[in-house]
Structure 1
Amino acid sequence: MSDTAKVSAADPLASVRAALAVQPVLIFLAGPNGAGKTTFFDEYLQGLGLPYVNADRIARALRDVHSTASSDEIDRRAFTQAEDLRAAFVEAGLSFCTESVFSDPVGAKLRFLEDARTRGFAVFMIFIGLDSPALAVARVKQRAERGGHDIPDEKLHARFPRTLANLRAAIPIVDEAFLLDNSSYDRPYRVVALFQKGQMVSRHPPLPPWTRGVIGL
């Protein structure tokens, strides 16, 4: 991993560690399919020791137990279990990290973030973006070739703009939002901007195409 990536990943952790000392923390790791969210958690956030709610990992565990169930059924069960786990952690006031493509069209994840803040959580959003839906398709295909979870191209294209719309809506809701770009393997997880309480406090050009329309950029 490059020095650029290490610096990029270090920035969010100082704020998170400070918050963990005084209140429950929610780390909301968001971005399109194939953006590298799980890899980011494994490399940079796992050391915090927080529970990690990840529907893909739940689905993998379910497949081992229910080998005859259809992929759609497994995905539905995993989604429901992930939702239930998130709600339970918030209800109990326990710090955790969760991952989401953040593409729901009805605002459920936005309400989840608002609810966590209302219940006293410090909410940190780490959004990892990609240049285009085509890049998301390519990354998911690479993942599938390595035995990972595949997703139909049409779903990836449909989700991409919804993910960006939810990003824009979430920035004023969360305590801090870190925008990282993972479009280039040469500069992985490059910090693009930092927002605190909805206000941009730093930006780091060149800005990737997916940041268009984000307030302040």
Structure 2
Amino acid sequence: MPTLILIAGPNGAGKTTFASEILTTDLKGVRFINADEIARGLSPFDPASVAFKAGRILLRETAELIEAGTSFALESTISGRGHASTLRKAKAAGYRIVIHFLWLSSPQESIARVRSRVKKGGHFVPSEDIRRRYPRLLHNLVHHYLPLADLWFFWDAQGSPPVGLANSMTHAISDVDRFIHDR
């Protein structure tokens, strides 16, 4: 059975680092697609200028992988619901859906992590975008993404390495919702 792995979380949570670690240890050989990496490949000195084009390429690649029945992983902030549609299509095509969500406690923490990343040569995300996305991504996680997963993991990404807080084998989605809102 092919698997689609979604690595999600706010900007600065360490999604790409997490992906590179699990894809080189636990999930060797699984293809990883990432709109930020696609954009850097298209325009290394100004990836933001080709973000829309990179997103379209990512959607095309995911459709091709699903059609071929190939296991793959992708990353997203899930501040929108577009990838939920991709997950539904994959599920209908017989895929197993696995979600890893990397949680940060606030948009301020996300902003600080992005600033730190930029100082090390990483990509910038405007603070207003992070503040706008943060509540949406938490809502989308609980109401639109986790219900589609066959297996999910909720990680505290405030430290390194991330620490597991909940997973679908021992917790309900309502536990994640309660945890998010109690913070």
TM over 0.5: yes
Matches for 1:1-217 after TM superposition, within 5 Å: 23-47=1-25, 48-64=28-44, 71-104=47-80, 107-169=81-143, 170-185=145-160, 188-196=161-169, 201-202=170-171, 211-213=179-181
* CA root-mean-square deviation: 2.2
Distance 1:93 1:41 in 2: 21
| Paired residues of 2:36 and 2:47 also in contact (CA < 8 A) | no
* Contact 1:53 1:97 survives alignment (8 Å): yes
Displacement of 1:71 after TM fit? Answer: 4.7
Q: Is residue 129–residue 210 contact of structure 1 (8 Å, CA) maintained in 2? A: no
Are residues 163 and 122 of structure 1, via their aligned partners in 2, closer, same or farther at CA, if it must alter by over 3 Å? same
Q: Relative to structure 2, which stretch is displaced further, 116-125 or 167-176?
A: 167-176
Question: Any idea what SS the aligned residue of 1:123 has?
Answer: strand
Report deviation, 1:46.
2.7
Task: Decide which structure has the larger Cα Rg and report it.
Answer: 1
- For structure 2, the residue ranges without an aligned partner over 5 or more in a row are none
| TM-superposition CA deviations, 1:2-25 (whole Å, max 9, x none) | xxxxxxxxxxxxxxxxxxxxx111
Letter in 2 for 1:172: P
Give the direction of change, closer, same or farther, for the CA distance of 1:136–1:24 in structure 2 (3 Å limit).
same
Deviation at 1:212, TM superposition (A): 2.5
In 1, are the aligned partners of 2:166 and 2:176 still within 8 Å (CA)? no
- Where structure 1 has 5 or more consecutive residues not aligned to the other structure, the ranges are 1-22
CA shift, 1:85, in A, is: 0.9
State how far apart, in whole Å, the 2-side matches of 1:210 and 1:58 are: 35
Please report the TM-score for the alignment, with normalisation by the length of structure 1. 0.75
**Distance (Å, rounded) in 2 between the aligned partners of 1:211 and 1:39:** 24
Post-superposition offset of 1:73: 3.0
User: Identity of aligned pairs, percent?
Assistant: 35
1:87: how far off? Answer: 1.4
